[in-house]
Amino acid sequence: MRRLLKDRIAAAGSESGLTIVEVLVASVILVLGAGATFGLLGAATKNAQRAKATQVTLDLAQEELERLHGLPYASLALNTAPTSVPGNSLNPRSRISGSQFALKRSPMGEYGTLVLDPEKGIAPESEFFSGDTENGGIAGTLFRFVVWRNDPACSGEGCEAYKQVVVAVKPDKPVSQSGESGYVEVQSGLIDPAAFESEEEESEEEEEEEGGEGNPGEDITAQQFFLSDTPCAANGTTVRQEITADHLLHNTLGTCASGLKNGASQPGAPDALLLAGAPDLFPEDETKPGLYDYADDFYLEPTPDTDKGLQIRRDDIAGCNYNPAGATNPESQVHRWISDKMTADFEVSGKVTLEFYTRTLNDALYPGTLCVFLFERAEAGLPPEATDTLLVDEEEGDAYWKYPPEEGSFWPRNVWTRVRLTMELQGASPTIDKDHRLGVALGVDRGTTPADAIPIMYDHPNYPTRLEVDTDTPIEVGG
């Protein structure tokens, strides 16, 4: 015991520690570790700044595109020709070649002629500031391009050239960044509503002008409502939701207050009619955004399973039925879209045009008839109950319109095809009252459609299915 205690005392009194070499090695390790840590923090800060700049510029581009959607069609032009900056791929003006602009970013292609109008046009670029630029804010340049373009997917009448609007936003180079910043862009196509007037309508207008009665249609514009895949908001303005995957069919047989519902158990919110089309966030990549299936319920999956967009099943009985007759999954037989509540009385000046994209299931060969319903929706009570007033066809006197292909023809197949149906309304100027909503519903006539369903594609920058409503009380974008 004495020996053990003596050994412990000796050990406690001995001197030991790190050598100078060990201290130096430890110091080097600490310095290297600190350097790596500060490097990661610096990189994270730069990445956060870049992410913030990308989000701010993308939001700005989308807001500007929606603003341009609200301009008269004649004003969608540039008031001066932008100059080219060849060789600088980080500047959108590098895509200018003479009077042409490349709609496809990389590799550059799909050139269109720039639309110029010194009197009515808009400025090709302007500066922007977001926040305090000295404390993390972002400044830069907003570019606008408008070009003529032909629609390769269109068949039949109404395939004239239309305008493609491109908005690009390029932030200035931050002090912390060594290289020049790139840019983001969004694109959208716009069609002149006047381009689809028939020769007979033009002749009638000329006769009225010659008779001294004036041109009653000179103040009428086409208000556009785009069919979306986002359920409508019960109050306020509906905000489009990005589509990222296939999903179950939206049950649209309820009210906006019902919220999103799938399946037949409960009626859900109709999808929204929005004032702007889906933006193209990847104009340089034709595969983005992808095409998704908006109705991948098991009973809506054909064999082989190749369908995209929305499948509208034919009704259980022949004819056009606003309230579907089906006892099983009636929500798949009529699909509804409605606008946000009108902030003022909205007059419909006699004509509405539905432009939609469609093709057959699995590109099979069959005829078909699409039923189109236009309606005004009033809501009252808590929870709100809807009262729909159907608008009436001037020519046939029916509370619906039909679109079949030309006699002896089949439904479009092999490619998504643009189709236009012009609907004349009964009554001088039906009005959608303030706080009411405008709606459209689609169904399929069983009597003339031997297939199970008709697919419709929408809410995609390349397939802007929409309503064009003639009105002299257009809605202010953001109003």
- AA letter at 378: A
Which SS3 state, helix, strand or coil, does residue 213 take? coil
Half-sphere exposure of 36 (CA within 13 A, CB side): 6
- Token digits of residue 107: 């590799």
pLDDT at 316: 93
**Contact criterion met (CB below 8 Å) for 374 and 390:** yes
pLDDT at 203: 47
Phi, then psi, of 12 in degrees rounded to 5: -70, -30
pLDDT at 292 over 90: yes
Give the integer Cα–Cα distance in Å for 231 and 331.
14
Phi, then psi, of 268 in degrees rounded to 5: -120, 180
The predicted model scores a pTM of 0.65
Domain ranges of the chain: 52-190, 218-471
Q: State the Rg of the chain over Cα.
A: 30
CA 96 to chain centre: 26
> If we measure between CA atoms, which residue out of 31, 285, 284 comes closest to residue 168?
284
Which SS3 state, helix, strand or coil, does residue 311 take? strand
> If we measure between CA atoms, which residue out of 259, 205, 195 comes closest to residue 233?
259
270 burial level (CB within 10 Å; 0-12, 13-18, 19+): buried
pLDDT at 139 over 80: yes
DSSP string, 86-149: TT-TTSGGGGEETTEEEEETTTTEEEEEBPB-TTT-B-SEEEEEES-GGGT-EEEEEEEEEEEE
Q: What is the tens place of the pLDDT at every residue in 360-402?
A: 999 999 999 999 999 999 999 888 999 999 999 999 999 999 9
Multiple choice CATH, 218-471, 3.50.50, 2.60.120, 2.40.160, 2.20.230: 2.60.120
pLDDT at 210: 47
Q: What is the tens place of the pLDDT at every residue in 245-257?
A: 999 999 999 999 9
pLDDT at 215: 41
**Contact criterion met (CB below 8 Å) for 104 and 110:** yes
